[in-house]
Amino acid sequence: MNPTSVTLRQLRAFVAIADAGGFAAAARRLHLTPSALSLLIKDLERGIAVRLFDRNTRATALSLAGSEFYPLARKVLDDLASALESTQDLEQKKRGTVRIACTPLYAATTLPELVLRYRQKFPAIAVYVLDSLNQQALARVMSGEADLGIAPQRQAPPELVQQSLLRDRMWLICRADHPLAARSRVTWSQMLREPFVSLTPDFTKRLQADLFKHSATLALNPAHEVSFITTALGMVQWGHGITAQPGRSLPLIEPFGLVGRPLVGPVVHRHLSLFCKRDRALSPAAASFRDFLREAMPTLPVSPSRS
């Protein structure tokens, strides 16, 4: 036997005949003439010195040797198909475009590092960050403008799939000369005695619901509601009150002259989620970025602010 004389074309011809139950049907499947198919099998049988089919005028059946050879030939073809599919999938992940709609806080503090790390691994994939308010981020995913969305956990529309990314503790943010800055930690009841700068009504509503789970006395009455975290930090910087923000905001506060203190009584977390379209398969590039995010994001450290 000379294995090097066996070709993939011969193996495909052999398996096709065995599957179809005859030369004529297999020839049609392979878009070959019966004579060309017969020649392939003759060359294969000559190469391995074994008769693979018992043929007569009425039927074609596998010989005993052919029956033993069939599962081996099938495995070779299946393994080759699997290897080619894996290689093509990997190659597709090396190029393409990913668009991520992300809320401003995480678009400013968390996503830039992750995009850099991802592109070091897949430099030919273009990654675009679409900074958006919460509802806008979800709307961009639903419309197809963005492949993925990153926003605080919420009741997702049925068109979207939501997957948890991380849990982010809420911190007090205040001026360095504020009386609460002298404490190592601050209770919510202490914080809520001060003018409170909140974000959108959606942010206020969710935070209030978390506080009411602990105590009905922890009522939020914002002195100001703004849309962007940088606006909230600017308001706090100029003495309009204090604010509470997720820990991932801490890298932003030092240029504003602000400090962060952990909030207790209760400890409240903001849960961040990843959103994608339910009825649309992600491209290989977008799927690889999704997998990268789910693995890498929870491992990012939250650096405490310097007071």
Instruction: Report pLDDT digits (tens) over 204-229.
Output: 999 999 999 999 999 999 999 999 99
CA angle 193-105-99, nearest 5°? 155
Q: What SS3 string covers 240-266?
A: CCEEEEEHHHHHHHHHHCEEEEEEECC
pLDDT of residue 284: 87
33-47, 159-173, 223-237, 288-302: the lowest-pLDDT one: 288-302
Does residue 301 register a pLDDT over 80? no
For residue 306, name the pLDDT band (cuts at 50, 70, 90).
very low
CATH code: domain 3-90 is: 1.10.10.10
Query: What integer pLDDT is reported at residue 126 of this predicted model?
Result: 92
Tell me the average pLDDT across 135-157.
93
**What's the rounded mean pLDDT across residues 173-187?**
97
Cβ contacts of 15 within 8 Å, gap of 6 or more: 70, 73, 74, 77
The full length of the chain comes to 307
Of these ranges, 79-88, 156-165, 170-179, the one predicted with the greatest mean pLDDT is 170-179
Q: Which two tokens mark 111?
A: 């996503």
User: Is residue 92 pLDDT above 90, yes or no?
Assistant: no
pLDDT at residue 190, as a whole number: 97
12-16, 282-286, 298-302, range with the lowest pLDDT: 298-302
Q: What is the pLDDT of residue 304?
A: 46
CATH number of 96-299: 3.40.190.290
In the chain, where are the structural domains located?
Answer: 3-90, 96-299
Longest dimension (CA), the chain: 101
Pairing between β-strand 258-264 and β-strand 160-175 as defined by DSSP bridges: antiparallel
pLDDT the model gives residue 214: 94
Helix (H) or strand (E) holding 169: strand 160-175
Is the model's pLDDT at 141 over the cut of 60?
yes
Predicted confidence at residue 175, as pLDDT, reads: 98
Q: What is the pTM of this model?
A: 0.69
Angstrom distance (rounded) from CA 203 to CA 298:
22
Mean pLDDT of 163-170: 94
β-bridge mates for residue 164, sequence order: 273
CB 98 within 8 A of CB 147: yes
Query: 199 in helix, strand or coil?
Result: coil
Determine contact, residues 101/148, Cβ cutoff 8 Å: yes
